[in-house]
Structure 1
Amino acid sequence: MEIILDHCVIHVTDWARSNAFYRDVLGAEVVPQGKGYAYRLGDQQLNVHGPGLNPSPLARVPVAPGGSDLCFVWPGRPEEAAAHLKAHGVAVELGPVERRGARGPGHSVYFRDPDGSLLEFISYG
């Protein structure tokens, strides 16, 4: 039996700002979901808690805006990831630095979403 991650949850404070960020910077498909949105990236999805929603059930300590720490695979070199972020006005907080991810050794670039969640682009190979 193989169990894989289907989705996880982030929390945002401003739909328009976050939708634009995840669409433009991460290339996510912004999917309307009830009164809110989800961000689809390939076969994975970020469900999003945000303004106007009262989701249930929740974790014992629900994720707060800016409280997520997520890593995404960047398909090119880490320097290209840094240039991509710069082109979108997103500051690189750290990197490129050597890291080990689910696929083994790689190089990562760290940055933040508009609410302060720590995001990482990892490049393999």
Structure 2
Amino acid sequence: MNILGFDHIVLCVKNVEETLEFYERVLGMQRREERPGKWSLHFGSNKISLQDVQSSPDLAKRTVPGSGNFCVLTNTPIAEVVEQLRSMNVEIVEGPAEKAGAVGRILSVYFRDPDLNLVEVSNRL
């Protein structure tokens, strides 16, 4: 098997509308209704599918809100990201700090979404 990369990730959420609003406002992602009642967030060529905890399919019943932890890359300098987060009253839980990314060093800042998923926003160094 030759894995090429990610197609999408899924976040289990308590309130789909609140999650859509948060990611649109804070990270500039775009909502898309893939089919009636099934929402996702898009940025670049990437997608985060949202799974409503109240209507999770049997396959995903053990997935719970707040268990997500992921990193997105930006070309906006991290100092500006920090300023933007603070201006929107988003609490920074760690950073800026240097970390090891998929292809090298990154400078990251961490915060939580409405379900307490850990979101990392990073610059490649």
TM-score (norm 1): 0.88
Measure how far apart 1:54 and its partner are: 3.3
Q: Which SS does the other structure have where 1:93 is aligned?
A: strand
Q: Is the 8 A contact 2:53 2:64 kept in 1?
A: no
Amino acid at match of 2:47: Q
Higher helix proportion (structure 1 or 2): 2
Residue 59 of structure 2 aligns to a residue in which SS?
coil
Amino acid at match of 2:62: P
SS for the counterpart of 1:57 is helix
| CA deviation after TM superposition for structure 1 residue 117, in Å | 0.4
Q: In structure 1, how many angstroms separate the alpha carbons of the residues matched to 2:14 and 2:97?
A: 30
Structure 2 CA distance, aligned partners of 1:124 and 1:41? 17
Q: Secondary structure at the match of 2:84?
A: helix
Counterparts of 1:45-64 in structure 2 under 5 Å? 45-50=47-52, 52-58=54-60, 62-64=62-64
- Runs (4 or more) in structure 1 with deviation over 3 Å come to none
Q: Which residue type is aligned with residue 13 of structure 1?
A: K
Map of 1:25-104 to 2, 5 A cutoff? 25-33=26-34, 34-50=36-52, 52-58=54-60, 62-104=62-104
Deviation at 1:74, TM superposition (A): 1.9
2:13 aligned residue: 12
Counterpart in the other structure of 2:22: 21
Please give the secondary structure, in 1, of the residue aligned with 2:116: coil
Q: C-alpha displacement at 1:42, in angstroms?
A: 1.2
CA distance in 1, matches of 2:58, 2:5: 23
The number of equivalent residue pairs is: 123
Task: Give the match's secondary structure for 2:27.
Answer: coil
CA shift, 1:24, in A, is: 1.1
Q: Deviation string for 1:36-56 (max 9, x for gaps)?
A: 311111111111111552335
**Root mean square deviation of aligned Cα:** 1.7
2:57 alignment partner AA: P
Percent identical residues: 27
Structure 2 gaps of 5+ residues are: none
CA displacement at 1:87 relative to structure 2: 1.8
Instruction: From the superposition, tell whether residues 62 and 75 of structure 1 become closer, same or farther in structure 2 (CA, over 3 Å).
Output: farther
Structure 1 gaps of 5+ residues are none
Amino acid at match of 2:97: V
